[in-house]
Copies of this chain bind each other. A is one copy, B any other.
Amino acid sequence: MTSNRLEAFSDGVIAIIITIMVLELRPPHEISLSALRPLLPVFISYLMSFIFIGIYWNNHHHLMQAVESVNGAVLWANLHLLFWLSLTPFVTAWIGATRFASWPVALYGVVLLLSAIAYYILTLALLSIHPPESVLAIALGRDFKGKISIGLNLVAIPLAFVRPWLACAIFVLVAVIWLVPDRRIERTVAH
């Protein structure tokens, strides 16, 4: 079973998730520039979530490049990841509407954390059907980034109740770690 259709379906779902978030940006009824000011937290939350969903798409893309075959368990591990990602528009809308209040930011962190765990489970499901000398197994290696993301998100969630902006700073740090392209897979596939 090849991963073509899994990729196509994931692309569809991720494309919709990343795009429907913009529907929260409702145009103001006034026509002045100042009418846009209340939209600023909504815009920032959209930008933040766009980058996170973009990172997941990017990583998913790199990951699938090294995959040789999939099975039923992988399909469900992938749907499990898509489920948590699909909650991103909801938590994004909540932090935007409440201007980054504690509970919404904490819940945002929970969705990020569960997405990161779901991604980790997906890699485990893939590794279980690829031999240890496969491109996938070598490319994933010790999966340092995946583990540190989970750890940082675990720290960010309680911090949201102390200072929500500190939790957001950690989310941004996680994003920065991932934005450095995942050369492991690019390099291993190239060999």
Specify which chain B residues have a CB less than 8 angstroms from the CB of A179 in the assembled complex.
76
Q: At the interface, is chain A mostly helix, strand, loop or mixed?
A: helix
Interface residue A186 (Cβ < 8 Å from any Cβ of B): yes
Known pairs A16-B16, A76-B179. 13 more at Cβ < 8 A? A5-B61, A5-B64, A9-B61, A12-B14, A12-B16, A25-B87, A26-B93, A27-B93, A29-B97, A36-B107, A47-B83, A72-B183, A76-B181
Query: What range describes how many residues of A lie at the interface?
Result: 35 or more
Q: Mark interface residues in A1-29 (1 if CB within 8 Å of B CB, else 0).
A: 10001111101111111111011011111
Interchain CB contact under 8 A, B76 and A58: yes
A residues contacting B by CB (< 8 A) are 1, 5-9, 11-20, 22-23, 25-29, 31-33, 36, 47, 50, 54, 57-58, 61-62, 64-65, 71-73, 75-76, 79, 82-83, 86-87, 89-91, 93-94, 97-98, 101-104, 107, 179, 181-183, 186, 189
